Amino acid sequence: MNDLPQVYRKYELLFTPHLIPELRELRGEEWRKLIDNLSTLPETHPDALAFSLMMIRLGSCLTCEMDSYRAQRGCALCARQSVLSFKGTDKELIQRYERAKKELSRSLAVSEPRLEKAA
């Protein structure tokens, strides 16, 4: 990352868990409760990672480029815009998070046996 020009060093291209608290006031009470719960977790907690996965998909982070308008605006602003512009209900948004949680859980369950064999 140090080889990048100074102007690009501040950009994040994927939603990271440290941004979760910034999304608290964007939806209803159920959403705020979820954000409050996730905000207390370490960034490496599976629930925080699942939320990040959901946000990466919601905001199309994988298509973000360093010189794009989205990247120049910043990940926090892009994430806020993604949550605000979501056309579904809070319940539907939380269901997306729950699906990401299940997917991450399955993925971790598959990779753990491989890690134990390697140790």
Query: Computed from CA positions of residues 22, 98, 46, 72, in that sequence, does the dihedral angle turn out positive or negative?
Result: negative
pLDDT given at position 1: 45
Smallest Cα–Cα separation from 15: which of 75, 85, 98? 75
Query: How many structural domains does the chain have?
Result: 1
Note whether residue 49 is domain-resident: yes
Note whether residue 11 is domain-resident: yes
pTM: 0.82
Note whether residue 1 is domain-resident: no
Question: pLDDT, tens digit, for every residue of 14-55?
Answer: 899 999 999 999 999 999 999 999 999 999 999 999 999 999
Note whether residue 31 is domain-resident: yes
Residues of the domain holding 99 = 6-118
Cα–Cα distance between 39 and 24 in angstroms, integer? Answer: 9
- Mean pLDDT value across the chain: 86
